[in-house]
Structure formats: C-alpha cells, structure tokens
Structure 1
Amino acid sequence: NITGVFTQDFPFNPPVFYDFTGNLTDFNTEAGEGTRAIMVNYGDAVEMVLQTTQLGAGGSHPIHLHGFSFYWVGIGTGNFNNETDPSTYNLVDPPLINTVHSPAAGWVALRFFANNPGVWYMHCHFERHNSWGMSTVLIVRNGTTTETSMRPPPCTMPRCPGT
C-alpha cells in the first residue's frame, strides 16, 4: 500500500530496437529512472531472455536472481531471434542455477516457475554495473492459499513512516 515507489508497467520489449551487438558509438546511453517492476502471478511459468549489448565497452555480465533457481535453457551470440533461437534451447537437461553468465555480444534464456511469493532482486554481480542500475525487481504475487502466500510481517516489526 505504498504509492509512488514503483509502477507495474515493466516493458516486456526494449523501448528501441537496434543492433544490440553492433559497434555503437553514437547512441544515447542516458538511463531513465528505474521504477518499473516485473509483476508475475504465483505459479506462472516465466521465460526471460537477457540480451547483452555492446554499449560503452561491452562485455559479459554475471546475472543473479535472488529467491529462485532457474533453468538455463539457451545461450547464443549476436542478437536474439525470437523466431529461430528458441529451437536451440536445451529442454532435456538444462542446468538449474541462480547465477548465469550473459556473454558479450550475445544472449541467455532462462526459465522458472514463479513459486516463491515476494519481492526479488535481479542484478549484475559486477558492483559497478549494479550501482549503475543494471538490475530489476521481480514481484511474485501471493497465491490463493496460505502456503502459497507471503507471511505477514511480525507484529514487533516497526512500520514504515506514513503507512
């Protein structure tokens, strides 16, 4: 019940499509205010494709998701192609991990079930990148039962001012 902190309109596509893995020297890299959260329902099957760009110096990134382990189902070089790249996914025995290395000028695909309600941080493990905003928040809504919902805070926990 806190307003003005985040919005639920997380974009599921980049605001601008371009050659993510090309040599970009004349591109606006100014970041906006990151207040959008990814909202998913309890029990949803989630697939995320993380595309690494060549903005600035480029490079690879160790990406970590708190609260979940995920299946690393795909990896590739270049720009992710939604028509052809999913056919290369490993759906037989993908590794179950909580940190993945997103390659320079490439992409990784992750899948998991949203079966842990709460607010979960996803970020690059390079502290500088994390401080620059290479992170997001995944909010998994409560399920329909007590067992699939967050517990209420303890009665002794101090309340946030203004709530």
Structure 2
Amino acid sequence: MTQMRLRILRVADDDHPIDVPSKISTNLFITASVNKLPCASGSCDPSLNGSQLAASLNNISFQLPNIDILKAYYNRINGVYGDHFPSKPPLKFNFTAEVLPSYLQTPETGTEVRVLEYNSTVELVFQGTNLEAGTEHPMHIHGYSFYVVGWGFGNFDKHKDPSGYNLVDPPLQNTIAVPKNGWAAIRFKADNPGVWFMHCHLERHLSWGMMMAFIVKNGDRPEAQLLPPPPDMPPC
C-alpha cells in the first residue's frame, strides 16, 4: 500500500498528471464483429452464397446518413439518426468460441448514436468476437484521448477482470488494438461537446459498418458549448 501511495504522488507531480476516472457514470460493453449481410445487388462474391461481408458494433452495422450527424444534431433535423445505440449487445453468448451459430452472423443495420451527458465518466469495454473469424480491431475515437486500463484474451469477465485494472499509470491513447478474440477496457471523461465518431481503423471494417458516433451534450460554461457547423461542412 505504501508503494502505491508513493507512485501516485510521483504521477501527481508530473507536468501531465494522470486523471483516470474512478467513479463511472456510464458503463458500455461493445462487441466488435465481422458479419454477413444479404447481397441485394447480385454482384457479391459467389463464394459468399448471396451474402456480402459486413461489420458491426453491438450487432449494428452503421449506415452512413445523407445529412451529416453534426448538422442534424445542431439544427434539430429529425429522421437522420437514432439515439438508441445499446449499452451492451442484444445477445450474450460465448463471443470467442471456435464455432458460433450461423444466426448470429447477420447484424441489424442503422444509424444509431450514443448520447453522453457533459462531464459524464465512461468505462467502455471492447469485446472482440469470433464471428466470421476473429481478428484484432484498432478502435479509434475522434475528439478524445482515453486511458487504457485493462486488456486480455477470451471473454471479458465483469466480476474478475476489473480487479486487474491499472488505475495508477495507464497509457493515454486515442486508438486501442482490441486483441483477436480478446477485450480491452478504456475510461474517459466526456468533456468535449460535439459529435464524435468511433470506428475500427482497418479501412475494410470501417467501410463494412464497424463504427458508431457519440453525441456529447453541452456543458454550463460558454467554453463548453458546441460551435455551429462550419459553412463548408461536407454533406456526410
């Protein structure tokens, strides 16, 4: 215990003190999967039997809107996105099993975001799955750096794994490589108002729908208010 206190004091004396959120107000558990969707165009790879490859977060394969989400949020334009991105996947199963049922391979499609209160503290656990063969996923969040407090292989155990978190001197990053068939846990404070995309940095997974967006609400102070979209904002 004495060693830990000394270590914390040394960190606090640094020019860039570590401020890991300790009390969490928002807990998110997000699965990252490669999936299949029915092919509507008829031009799919014949080896996929009428399907096309897709990707998802919490079983939702993101669909790009016709109007950018920032403009829709700021101007209160309805029908562009939904605000029901789930805190956990719709089904709990052995995410990293060698063989998984085929009915799990098809995700939902949609444009769903997660709304966060200003200054809320977030713990997000990424869980890789073995759907359509597991691989690592470099997950990136725009607008934020976050503390990587833990990672491991296999399925995340919420009763055991948090006891091994590093809450003293975790690395501060904006991208984390979720291990193949493993998990990674991050924490951050939602103190940057705006619309921020989170996505896999593998281009093929991004194009297949492995992304979502956070909307962080305004704070009370003038400097914690979202600025209007610039006039040259792209349509999406």
Question: Could you tell me the TM-score, scaled by structure 1's length?
Answer: 0.91
Correspondence for 1:115? 191
Does residue 99 of structure 2 align to residue 11 of structure 1?
no
1:87 aligned counterpart, secondary structure: helix
Correspondence for 1:23? 98
- Aligned residues: CA RMSD: 1.7
Correspondence for 1:54? 130
The CA deviation at 1:26 is 2.8
**Which residues of structure 1 form unaligned runs of 5+?**
none
Instruction: Give, as a single letter, the amino acid of the residue that structure 2 aligns with 1:27.
Output: S
**Which residues of structure 2 form unaligned runs of 5+?**
1-75
Matching of residues 4-153 of structure 1 within 5 Å: 4-28=79-103, 29-153=105-229
1:139 aligned counterpart, secondary structure: strand
Question: Could you tell me the TM-score, scaled by structure 2's length?
Answer: 0.64
Instruction: Give, in whole Å, the separation in 1 of the partners of 2:145 and 2:84.
Output: 25
Q: Is the 8 A contact 1:142 1:148 kept in 2?
A: yes
Instruction: Give, in whole Å, the separation in 2 of the partners of 1:63 and 1:73.
Output: 15
The CA deviation at 1:145 is 1.8
1:33 aligned counterpart, secondary structure: strand
Instruction: Give, in whole Å, the separation in 2 of the partners of 1:51 and 1:145.
Output: 36
Q: Residue by residue, what CA displacement relative to the aligned partner does 1:32-75 show, whole Å, maximum 9, x if unpaired?
A: 12222111011010110000001112111111111000000010
Aligned residues: 159
Structure with higher Rg: it is 2
The CA deviation at 1:152 is 2.7
1:131 aligned counterpart, secondary structure: helix
Q: Is the 8 A contact 1:34 1:133 kept in 2?
A: no
What percent identity do the matched residue pairs reach? 50
The CA deviation at 1:8 is 1.5
